[in-house]
């Protein structure tokens, strides 16, 4: 593909910076979690130094900490239940602009912020673009219901795996105090139906399937020389 680069960091920076240029003075913006959005915040910090006035709603503790380091003013969904736009990354993006998110375990808050946004900007490198969603679907669950949730996920023809911590013994704990199950599917042919089915399981907080925002989604695919903007 013409915009593909061998260095993912270059592509992520290009996409993140491009998204930052879409932010206008006075906007309330959602700030996603992950490495590509960190580049967006880096560029926004420079624009703030140049006079841009904005406020951001972070989707994780990590994002809030980094935003403060960049001197980006923060606010909440309580103060702004409708926001101008949200900027976030994705693990996979299909041709219909449906997403899988959640490798950073922040997808519940990310989905809340995306739902509140009038426009959803997704920043990725070319490797995240796929012809069909597959692989792991992160599912945030309450710890009380881990066994029955895993059993019902098995009925959806996946392999559910409790996510374990790195440099920490035991399960990953989300910013909401919950567990993450990574549900591995061979192929997801009907992602909207699957998202709904997972959401109906008692004990599930939210899944990493993002199928309901395609009408307001713009995807920025970073490249070494230029970015592709879809649509």
Active site residues: 110
Non-local CB neighbours of 105 within 8 Å, separated by 6+ positions: 138, 140, 163, 172, 174, 175, 180
The answer to whether residues 114 and 215 touch, using CB atoms and an 8 Å cutoff, is: no
The answer to whether residues 105 and 71 touch, using CB atoms and an 8 Å cutoff, is: no
Rounded-to-integer distance, Cα 209 and Cα 56, Å? 24
Tokens 């709904």 sit on residue: 196
Name which of 166, 164, 107, 176 is nearest 139 in CA terms: 107
Rounded-to-integer distance, Cα 51 and Cα 108, Å? 32
Name which of 201, 229, 207, 222 is nearest 11 in CA terms: 222
């Amino acid at each position: 593909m013409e915009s593909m680069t061998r260095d993912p960091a270059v592509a992520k920076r290009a996409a993140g910076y491009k998204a930052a240029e879409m932010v206008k003075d006075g906007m309330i913006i959602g700030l996603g979690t992950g490495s590509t959005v960190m580049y967006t915040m880096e560029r926004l910090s420079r624009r703030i130094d140049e006079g841009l006035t904005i406020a951001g709603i972070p989707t994780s503790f990590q994002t809030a900490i980094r935003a403060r380091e960049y001197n980006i003013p923060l606010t909440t969904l309580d103060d702004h239940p409708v926001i101008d736009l949200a900027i976030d990354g994705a693990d996979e993006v299909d041709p219909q602009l449906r997403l899988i998110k959640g490798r950073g375990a922040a997808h519940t808050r990310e989905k809340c912020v995306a739902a509140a946004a009038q426009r959803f900007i997704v920043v990725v490198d070319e490797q995240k673009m796929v012809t069909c969603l597959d692989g792991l679907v992160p599912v945030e669950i309450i710890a009380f219901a881990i066994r029955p949730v895993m059993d019902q996920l098995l009925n959806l023809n996946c392999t559910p795996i409790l996510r374990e911590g790195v440099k920490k013994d035991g399960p990953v704990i989300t910013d909401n105090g919950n567990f993450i199950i990574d549900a591995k599917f061979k192929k997801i042919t009907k992602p909207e139906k699957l998202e709904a089915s997972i959401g109906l399981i008692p004990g599930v907080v939210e899944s990493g399937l993002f199928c309901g925002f395609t009408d307001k989604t713009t995807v920025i695919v970073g490249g070494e020389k230029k970015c592709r903007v879809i649509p």
